[in-house]
Structure 1
Amino acid sequence: MSREILWSPSDAFAQDTAMAAYLRWLAAERGLSFADYNAAWDWSVTELEAFWESIWDYFDIVGTKPTQFLVSRDMPGAQWGKGGMLNYAAQPLRHADRTQDKPALIVQSESFGRSEVTWSELRRQVASVAAHLTEMGIGKGDRVVAILPNTETALIAFLATASLGAIWSLCAPDMGHVAILDRFRQIEPKVLIAQDGYIHAGKPIDRSAINDTIAAGLPSLTHRVTVPMLHPVPAEHVAWSTMTGRDVPFTPLEVEFEHPLWIVYSSGTTGNPKPIVHGHGGIVLEASKQSLHQNLTAQDRFQWLTSPGWIMWNAQWTGLGQGATLCLYDGAPNHPDMGVIWRFVADESVTNFGAGAAYFDGCRKFGVTPRDLDLSALRALGSTGSPLSSDVYDWIYTDVKRDLWLAPISGGTDLAGAFVLGNPMLPVRAGEMQCRALGNAVRSFDAEGNEVVGEVGELVCTEPLPSMPLCFWGDEDGSRLKDSYFDTYEGVWRHGDWIEITAEGGSVIYGRSDATINRKGLRMGSAEIYQAVEGLPEVIDSLVVDLEFLGRDSFMPLFVVLAEGTPLDDALKDKINGAIREAVSARFIPNEIVQIAEVPRTLSGKKLEVPVKKLLLGGDPKTVVNRDSMANPAAFDTFIEYAKARAHG
C-alpha cells in the first residue's frame, strides 16, 4: 500500500537539481534516455562499467582514467579501475584554483569558537602538513592515525595523509582507550595526531593521560603530534601549529585506483573491530555519485551533525568534493539547549543539513520548533543511523519547515556510502526512503534467497560496488571479509539490515537483522562490551542485544551472570556502567542490567545473540531458535519470561 506523500518537487525544482543535470548529460553525451528513475537505476546496476565510467567523465575526475572500470565482477573479490591513477585529496582541493577566498569550511567549536578556512588556506595547510609528514618518514602505504574532534584539524590531517598515498584512520575523542587500541593496534601506525582535551556541554574533558596510554600501547609510533587545548605541548611532541605553518606547493601523489585511502571500523559480534580498507578510486566515484542523490553543488552550504567515530564524518566530504562550503559543529548538540544546532543552521545559512535519526527524534520529544528561526536557506534535510519513524517525518514538516526535501539515507561504514537514499526529483512518502542508489543493486531477499517486494527481507546487494572494502587489514586469506558479508547468500552481499522495497521503488529500513549494537547511529560490536564487562571480577558471563526496530525507541538490555554470592545492586550496576564508559564509550551504557543464571549458547559455544534479539522484538519462541542446536536449552526460558514481562510492562 502506498504511503502518504508529504512533499513533491515542483517542475522547476526538479529540473534544477544535480540529478536532472546528470540525466540530461547522459542523453546528450551517451544517447541514453529513461522513462523514469527506476529505469535509470536498472541501467546503472546492469551496465556497471558504462555507469561508473559515466560518473568519472561527468565529474571530470582528476587523474588517469581507467582503461577498464570493472575487471572482475565476482563477490567477494571484485576488482576495479585497471590502469587508473588518481589521488582523493586532489578532488576537493582543485576547487581552490577558482574559489580561493570563498570559505571551504565554517567551524563552530565549543573548544575554539567560530572560525572560517578559505579554499586557498585549506590547500596551503594541507600542503604544509604533508611536507612535515614526509620529513617524519611518512610515505605511500604508511598509516597515520588521529584522535580528534570534528574540526578543520582532522580534515587537514586526513587530506595531507591521503595526498602522500599514506593511509588514514580516525577515532573520536570520547572513545575509551581500550576501544581505540583495539582499532589502532591492528594497523601499526607511525604517527599519532591527538588533541589533549576538549570542551563538551561546557565542561573541559582532559584527554592527555588517556592519549599517553594509547601511545604507550602503539609500539610502532615514531612521532606524536599534539593539538593543545588544555595544556602546553610536551617537549617530545610536535605541536600542530608547527605542522601548518609552511608555504609549499600542493603536490598530491597519484596512486593506483585501488590503493588504500583510509581504514574505518565496523564491529561484528566477535573478535576485534573489523579494520575496513577502502580505496582512493572507489571512494571518489561513490562520493561523486552520492552528490547527485544529495543534490550538492558548489553553491551549497552543507552540514552533517557527526562524530569522528562515525562513517558520516568521512561522508560529509562529499560536499567538499563538489566545491560546497562545509559547516562543521564540534560540541554537545544539547548545550545549552536542544536548539543550538538549529540556530547554527540558521545563522550560517545552511542549505543541506543532516543528522542521525535519534537527534531528530530527540528534538521532537523535547518540543523543539526550528520553524521559529530563519531557515529560508534550508532546502534539504538528511537523516541516517537508524530508521526515521513516521512521527519524525510529521514533526519535520510541521515544526521545521513545510517546503523541504526530506531525504533519509541508509548504508554503512562497510561501503562508505548509501544503499537507499533520496532523489530530489521524486516525492517524499511518510516513513520511506525515496529510491535505491544508482549503481547499487539493492534487493530484499527472503531466507531462501528469493527477491521479495512489498514485504520485509534481508537487505542484499547482488552486484559489486567500487567502494566495497578492498579487504580487512590483516585478513590475509579474505576469510573474515567473506564471513562478514557473504556467509548467507553465495556471491551476494548481505548487509545485516531488514528492508522492504516498495512497488514504486522506495524502501523502508526496519533496523538491524544481526547482533551489531547501533546506538544513535554509532555501531559497536558486542565483543567490545563483553570485554569491558567481563573484565570485572564480579561478572562471569554476559549477553547484550540492541532492540532497534522501526517505530520503537532503541532499547539495549545487558544480561549478566555474576560470581556466586554477588548481588546485582546499584553499586555493581554503577561499576559495570563505569567499565563500559571507560573502555568503550558512554554511548553504549545499557538501558537496563538484568541478572541471569546462564547465557544461552550454541553447541559450539557461541552466544545466541540474534535469536534472543528476535525473541525480544516479538518473535515466536518456537521458531527463533532451534533448541536442538543449543548447549543449554533451558537458558532460553529466562528470555522468554523476560520478553513476556516487557510485552506486558
Structure 2
Amino acid sequence: MTTENPQPQPLWQPDAQRVARARITTFQRWAADHHGAPAGGGYPALHRWSVDEPETFWEAVTEWFDVRFSAPYARVLGDRAMPGAQWFPGAKLNYAEHALRAAADRPDEPALLYVDETHDPHPVTWADLRRQVGSLAAELRALGVRPGDRVSGYLPNIPQAVVALLASAAVGAVWTSCAPDFGARSVLDRFQQVEPVVLFTVDGYRYGGKEHDRRDVVTELRRELPTLRATVHIPLLGTPAPEGALDWTALTSADTDPVFEQVPFDHPLWVLYSSGTTGLPKAIVQSQGGILVEHLKQLGLHCDLGPEDRFFWYTSTGWMMWNFLVSGLLTGTTIVLYDGSPGFPDTGAQWGVAERTGATLFGTSAAYVMACRKAGVHPARDHDLSAVQCVATTGSPLPPDGFRWLHDEVGEDLWIASVSGGTDVCSCFAGAVPTLPVYIGELQAPSLGTDLQSWDPDGNPLTDEVGELVVTAPMPSMPIRFWNDPDGSRYHDSYFDTYPGVWRHGDWITLTSRGSVVIHGRSDSTLNRQGVRMGSADIYEAVERLPEIRESLVIGVELPDGGYWMPLFVHLAPEATLDEALLTRIKQTIRAHLSPRHVPDEVIEVPGIPHTLTGKRIEVPVKRLLQGTPLDKAVNPGSVDNLDLLRFYEELARSRKRP
C-alpha cells in the first residue's frame, strides 16, 4: 500500500509559542548542552539520537526528571539482548516515592479528582494521598507483606485503588488488578497465576445508573485464592464487611509517613494481563524502574504534562491505561478518576467530566469519539472545554472521520493525539508529540527511545508500505518476564519467534516518508473490544461448556468507520438448534464468566470450524476473509484441513458486504 498523496496538508500545526513552551523543546535544548543531543532538527533529530544513543538518552531522562537513585547504577544498559535487556544494573529506587513527591511542595492541592456518575468532582489532596499510602503501607507490613509478595485489587477506578497500588509499591509488593465487571472465572484465571496474599475488594459498583452487587463473586474469589492472608473490604455500596475481612478505613486512618522500600531497578512493580489465542491470559511483569523512566518520558515529554495540568483518561482498572493514568502523578499532575459508564446519562457524558474537572489532557477511546460523532454530540457547543489542550485516543486506530469531527466539534486549535502501544509495554510505541503537526488518520511519530519499524516477512524495513510493527531495540518498560514462565519460552514465543531478537507486536503499520505512523489494526487474532484485549481462548472455554455447542470461532474485525464487529461462529451439536433460548444462554455465559464487553455482536451458525493440519483453529485467515481478502491471499491452502469450510466464510463475507 503506497501513500496516495505524498504531501497532504496538516489538520493542525502547533504555533511557535506552543512549540517554544513545550517541555520536549526545553528538554532537547538541555540535552544538547549536557549530553550531546542535536540542538537543531526538531523532533526528528531528537528521536534519531534517542535510538542511536540509547544509554545517553535514558541517562538524560533520569537526570532531567531528577530520578532518585538510592544506590548508583553501574551503567545504563548492561545487556542489550531482547528478551533479557538489563537496565540500570545496581540501581535502587522506589516508584511510589516518585509518585508522591509533589506532596512536599503542594500538600493542599488535589492529587486526585474522583468523579462518579453524579459528575461531582471529589478532591484528594497530595498530603492526604501521601498520608493514606503511609498508613496502608504500614498495615501491609504488619500483615507480613514483604517485597515480591503479590497484592491484588478487584476494584473500580476509585481513589482507594490508587492508594492500594502506591502502598503496595511502597513496600516492594507486586500490584495486580481486575475491574469488578469481570466475572469470577476471568478474575481467577488471572489472580490464581500470581497467588496474591492480600485482596482489596468492593462490595459492588455503579454503572449506567444501576448498582451491581459483587459480594457473591468476592466470596468465590476468597474461596479459590488459598494464598490470601487478608481481604480488605471497601463498602462502595455501603454493606458491612464480610466475616474475616478487614475494613478499609481502619487501615488508612493513621497519620503515618510512608516508608519506601528501596528495590532494584528491575524489581517487579505490577502484573498486567494480556491474552493470546490459547491458554490462560499472559501475566506480564513490568519493573519499578522501567515503568518509572518510561512513564516520565511518555507523560512528561510526549503528553507535555506538569503540575499545572489535569489528566483525565476514561479507563478501568482492568486496562493498562489505568496504570498509565496513575503515573500522571509522577509529573506532579492532578489525575482525574472517573468511575462509571462512558455514556451515562447520555453519549456526551465524558465531555461533561472533562469540563467539570478542568481537564487539560482528555484521553478516551477511538470508539467513543466515533459514537459521539454518530450520536450528533456537540462537545464545544454544550460544554466549556477551554482548558482542554489535547484529546488523545487509543484502544483502536482513530479513523479519519474521527480526526475531522474532533477538529470541527471540539476546537480548531486542538492537538489530537491518536496513540498506539500495548499492555505488553504499558506505554506507547507511537503517538503524541506536542511540537509536530497532526495529519488526518495518522499518529504523529514514533516515541522517543522507541526504535519502531515496519518490516516485511523477510525482515526488510518498509516506508510508505504496510508491514509488521516491530521494535528493534529494548525499551525499559518491556516485560522483565511473564509470571510462571521459568524458562522464558512463553515470553520469547509471544514476541520474538518471528524475527529473532526483534519485538514483533502483532499490528499492521505504515511508517510514512514524513515520519508519521498509520496503524491498520491487529495482525493477529487478539480481540480488542473497547480497548480491553482478550484472547479467543477465553471465549471458547466459556461457550463450549454449553452442551449444544460442538465448537466455536470468534473473530474481531476492525471496520473502516472505527467500529468493531465481533461475530461468534458456532458449530452445533447434533439435534441442537440456534434458537432464542440458546442465543440468550450463550450471551449470558460470556457475560457472567468473562465480561459484558465480550458478548458477541452476532452469533452465526456454521457447518464447521476450519483448522490447521495440526488441529489449531484458523482465526487470522478467517478475519482476513471477513475484511475482504481473497481466499488465495488469506491462507496457505496446504495448511488447512478443509478448504471448503473457508470458502463458506469467504462467501459469507461477500454476501454481508463486510470489509
Selected match of 1:243 from 226, 251, 270: 251
Alignment correspondent of 2:127 = 120
**Once superposed, what is the RMSD of the aligned Cα atoms?**
1.3
Shift of the alpha carbon at 1:318? 3.1
Equivalent positions of 1:484-633 (< 5 A) are: 484-633=494-643
Alignment correspondent of 1:27 = 32
Selected match of 2:335 from 308, 326, 332: 326
Shift of the alpha carbon at 1:563? 0.9
Alignment correspondent of 2:305 = 296
Letter paired with 1:13: R
Question: 1:5·1:428 contact (CA, 8 Å) conserved in 2?
Answer: yes
Alignment correspondent of 1:172 = 179
Selected match of 1:343 from 326, 337, 352: 352
CA shift digits 1:264-309 (9 cap, x unpaired): 0010000000000000110001001102000101110111111111
Question: 1:510·1:549 contact (CA, 8 Å) conserved in 2?
Answer: no
Alignment correspondent of 1:311 = 320
Selected match of 2:428 from 404, 412, 418: 418
Alignment correspondent of 1:142 = 149
Question: 2:631·2:647 contact (CA, 8 Å) conserved in 1?
Answer: no
Q: Are 1:37 and 2:43 counterparts?
A: yes
- Higher mean alpha-carbon deviation, 306-315 vs 232-241, is at 232-241
Question: 2:526·2:535 contact (CA, 8 Å) conserved in 1?
Answer: yes
Letter paired with 2:232: V
Equivalent positions of 1:99-498 (< 5 A) are: 99-110=106-117, 114-230=121-237, 231-291=239-299, 292-372=301-381, 373-498=383-508
Post-superposition, which runs of at least 4 consecutive aligned residues in structure 1 deviate over 3 A? Answer: 110-114, 549-552
Distance 2:588 2:371 in 1: 24
Shift of the alpha carbon at 1:553? 1.9
Shift of the alpha carbon at 1:550? 4.6
Shift of the alpha carbon at 1:552? 4.6
Secondary structure class of the residue paired with 2:95:
coil
Secondary structure class of the residue paired with 1:145:
strand
Alignment correspondent of 1:71 = 78
Secondary structure class of the residue paired with 1:99:
coil
Distance 1:114 1:624 in 2: 50
Secondary structure class of the residue paired with 1:138:
coil
Shift of the alpha carbon at 1:543? 0.6
Letter paired with 2:656: R
Secondary structure class of the residue paired with 2:115:
strand
Distance 1:181 1:59 in 2: 38
Secondary structure class of the residue paired with 1:428:
coil
Q: Are 1:4 and 2:9 counterparts?
A: yes
Question: 1:277·1:469 contact (CA, 8 Å) conserved in 2?
Answer: yes
Shift of the alpha carbon at 1:28? 2.2
Distance 1:3 1:390 in 2: 13
Question: 1:144·1:169 contact (CA, 8 Å) conserved in 2?
Answer: yes
Which 5+ residue runs of structure 1 have no aligned equivalent?
A: none
Question: 2:137·2:259 contact (CA, 8 Å) conserved in 1?
Answer: no
Shift of the alpha carbon at 1:67? 2.1
Shift of the alpha carbon at 1:335? 1.1
Question: 1:111·1:229 contact (CA, 8 Å) conserved in 2?
Answer: no
Distance 2:47 2:620 in 1: 33
Distance 2:56 2:471 in 1: 19
Distance 1:171 1:636 in 2: 37
Shift of the alpha carbon at 1:111? 8.2
Normalising by structure 2, we get a TM-score of 0.97
Distance 1:596 1:182 in 2: 29
Distance 1:646 1:451 in 2: 36
Shift of the alpha carbon at 1:558? 0.6
Letter paired with 2:608: E
- The alignment of Structure 1 onto Structure 2 pairs a total of residues equal to 649
Letter paired with 1:58: W
Question: 1:561·1:598 contact (CA, 8 Å) conserved in 2?
Answer: yes
Alignment correspondent of 2:3 = none
CA shift digits 1:589-634 (9 cap, x unpaired): 1111111122111111111101111111111201211222122333
Shift of the alpha carbon at 1:62? 1.8
Alignment correspondent of 1:51 = 57
Question: 2:115·2:122 contact (CA, 8 Å) conserved in 1?
Answer: yes
Distance 2:40 2:551 in 1: 57
Which 5+ residue runs of structure 2 have no aligned equivalent?
A: 1-5
- Higher mean alpha-carbon deviation, 39-48 vs 459-468, is at 39-48
Shift of the alpha carbon at 1:112? 10
Distance 2:202 2:155 in 1: 6
Are the structure 2 counterparts of residues 375 and 110 from structure 1 closer, same or farther at C-alpha, using a change threshold of 3 Å? Answer: closer
Secondary structure class of the residue paired with 2:609:
coil
Distance 1:212 1:385 in 2: 32
Letter paired with 2:372: C
Letter paired with 2:27: Y
Question: 1:73·1:463 contact (CA, 8 Å) conserved in 2?
Answer: yes
Q: Are 1:61 and 2:59 counterparts?
A: no
Shift of the alpha carbon at 1:36? 2.8
Shift of the alpha carbon at 1:327? 1.2
Normalising by structure 1, we get a TM-score of 0.98
Letter paired with 1:26: A
Secondary structure class of the residue paired with 1:82:
coil
Letter paired with 2:44: N
Secondary structure class of the residue paired with 1:316:
helix
Selected match of 2:95 from 84, 88, 96: 88
Letter paired with 1:490: P
Letter paired with 2:398: L
Distance 2:515 2:327 in 1: 24
Secondary structure class of the residue paired with 2:474:
coil
Shift of the alpha carbon at 1:63? 2.0
